[in-house]
Amino acid sequence: MKIHIRSLSISVFLVLAALPQPLHGQASKAKGAERIGVYDSRAVAVAYVGSGFQQQRMKELSRQFEQAKQAGNVSEISRLEAEGQAWQARLHRQGFGTAPVEDILSHIAGDLPGIQEAAGVTNLISKWNTAELKKHPKAEQIDVTMQLVDAFHPNSTQRKRAIEIQRKSPQKLKQ
């Protein structure tokens, strides 16, 4: 019986050893071949500014502000002014620093799965988000910045600025 089990074990080993080597390599390569999409969040913010999404929000804030002004609602005027200033400060940190842009990306959420699929990536991570990138140390990084920028349908000036901002180092701003 022991001889039979030993013979079977040797037979299985010989069969496995006889398999073409690429099959072994492909299996391990497929497991370790994670691909993540990285992007420059500043370029995304630059594409957002002036987009229809940003203009729509500006119009709504302006409408609310005018209503509060006409009604003489001082507290609402103050609240809207503070909201506008906070929004402007956040956009500045996003466009010139390395602040996260998830709020901006939410406007193109419907496009993100297609962008990921076209690039063959599993995640989208800002290239400035070192903590998240460290979670994927062996992943191949695919730059999807311009695909994200283009999802905002930028005009030629916006697109040019989104390209140019990537050539500069981010400013050190308070997050």
Helix (H, G, I), strand (E, B) or coil at 37: strand
Q: Is 64 exposed, middle or buried (0-12, 13-18, 19+ CB in 10 A)?
A: middle
Confidence category of residue 19, pLDDT binned at 50, 70, 90: very low
Per-residue model confidence as pLDDT tens digits over 70-97: 999 999 999 999 999 999 999 999 999 9
**Is a pLDDT exceeding 70 seen at residue 50?**
yes
With a threshold of 0.85, does the pTM exceed it? no
Q: Could you tell me what percent of the chain has a pLDDT over 90?
A: 74
Q: Which residues of 19-43 are buried (b: 16+ CB within 10 A; e: fewer)?
A: eeeeeeeeeeeeeeeeebbbbbbbb
- Which has the closest alpha carbon to 42: 93, 86, 112? 93
* Domain positions in the chain: 34-165
